Homo-oligomer: A and B are copies of this chain.
Amino acid sequence: MKKLNIGMVGYGFMGRTHSNAFLKVANFFDLPYQPVLKALCARNAERAKAFAANWGYASVETDWRKLVVSPDIDLIDIASPNDTHMEIAVAAAKAGKMVMCEKPLGRNAAESEQMVQAVEEAGVLNSVWYNYRRVPAVTLAKHLVDDGRLGRIFHYRAKFLQDWTISSDLPQGGEGLWRLDVNVAGSGVTGDLLAHCIDTAMWLNGPIDEVSAMTETFIKSRKHNLTGKVEPVGIDDASAFLGRFRNGALATFEATRYARGHKALYTLEINGENASIMWDLHDLHRLQYFDHRDEGVLRGWRSIHISDRDHPYMSAWWVPGLQIGYEHTFIHQAADFLRAAGDGKSAAPSFREALQTDYVTDAVLQSAANRNWVKVGP
């Protein structure tokens, strides 16, 4: 098994999920590559050292510009805040490294286009961590849709509901809070949460052609942790849109951080002529399935406990009935990336695929600003 040396940028929430994925994946999956945690890169040297020690990184770097040109490194994995994605990805691609990037790709489609151009010109393998595609239940949904089980699709609806920013005492910006700083994040829930919903939706149901959107910032100003001053909030706290898929299905999407009682309730539902599917992240190990072709008096929503060996990814894990959790979605993506790399291919979603999501989020923000329907696209 060849080794694949990983240079990780970032030690936050996503630095942890990615590190765990690469550390664990080979214990559970047969792979052409053995990932090696070679170097951890972050600005704060002390915290970087502690993180590297905890996860077993062989070395620490504080300047990503050095990391991306290091001959020891095969793959640059970008887990740092959104405002760093473009520069690092472009430089890594130019240095001929494989590049994985936490979602969203750039802060907007313009940045993302540069990233796509860079990896394609360099011809390097690339992928974006839209990890929810690899929830086994969601992957099974994809199989069902692709098999034509649902028939003509009429409706696709998705929501991503959280409640962690309701308090007006919460500051914006700085360590752990950059998702509230529009300059760093690019947008609020549109890029953070809605992007997940959109990526899964287009994977399952094809392109979205047009949207009419509404956004809201409920708390207009917050103390900024970097300046120490109360400043206007630039992000969207809530974002919703109506839209149309190319296949004629209607789209209803919503994301918010102001839905009291929901921590990370990403839900999706697809209604087809013959069958329907529902899934939610709070019980990610279940898929709800309704098939109208079932015998009349026995039709009902089936709650499928996705823990059998023939469910996607599940033969790698435990025995039927025993559930996996959130972190496994990253392990699955690492496995798929490494397998595809063995064949010289990029695992989906590539940068180019992920760019399509940014076109939708850009259209959502533009529609909300201009109060009109907006066509999605470059």
Tell me the A residues contacting B by CB distance below 8 Å. 13, 16-17, 19-20, 23-24, 26-27, 54-55, 140, 150, 154-155, 157, 161-164, 166, 212-214, 216, 218, 238, 240-242, 244, 248, 250, 252, 254, 256, 258-265, 271-276, 281-287, 289-292, 294, 296-305, 307-308, 310-311, 317-328, 371-373
Quick check: A258 and B282 within 8 Å, CB to CB?
no
Which of B248, B261, B276, B318 is the one whose CB lies under 8 Å from A259?
B276
- A28 smallest CB distance to B (angstroms): 9
Quick check: B297 and A308 within 8 Å, CB to CB?
yes
Residue in A260, A271, A283, A373 whose Cβ sees the most chain B Cβ within 10 Å: A260
- A185 smallest CB distance to B (angstroms): 16
- 8 CB contacts below 8 A, A to B, read A13-B318, A19-B27, A154-B256, A155-B238, A212-B371, A260-B272, A297-B310, A300-B305
Which of B238, B248, B250, B324 is the one whose CB lies under 8 Å from A154?
B238
Contacts of A321 in B (CB 8 A): 162, 262-265, 281-282
Quick check: B320 and A326 within 8 Å, CB to CB?
no
A322: nearest residue on chain B (CB-CB)?
Answer: B326
Contacts of A20 in B (CB 8 A): 24, 27
Contacts of A319 in B (CB 8 A): 13, 263-264
Residue in A285, A302, A319 whose Cβ sees the most chain B Cβ within 10 Å: A302
Quick check: A271 and B276 within 8 Å, CB to CB?
no
- A190 smallest CB distance to B (angstroms): 14
A261: nearest residue on chain B (CB-CB)?
Answer: B290
- A164 smallest CB distance to B (angstroms): 7
Quick check: B298 and A302 within 8 Å, CB to CB?
yes
Quick check: B300 and A304 within 8 Å, CB to CB?
yes
For the complex, give the distance between the alpha carbons of A318 and B242 in Å: 32
Contacts of A275 in B (CB 8 A): 260-261
- A273 smallest CB distance to B (angstroms): 6
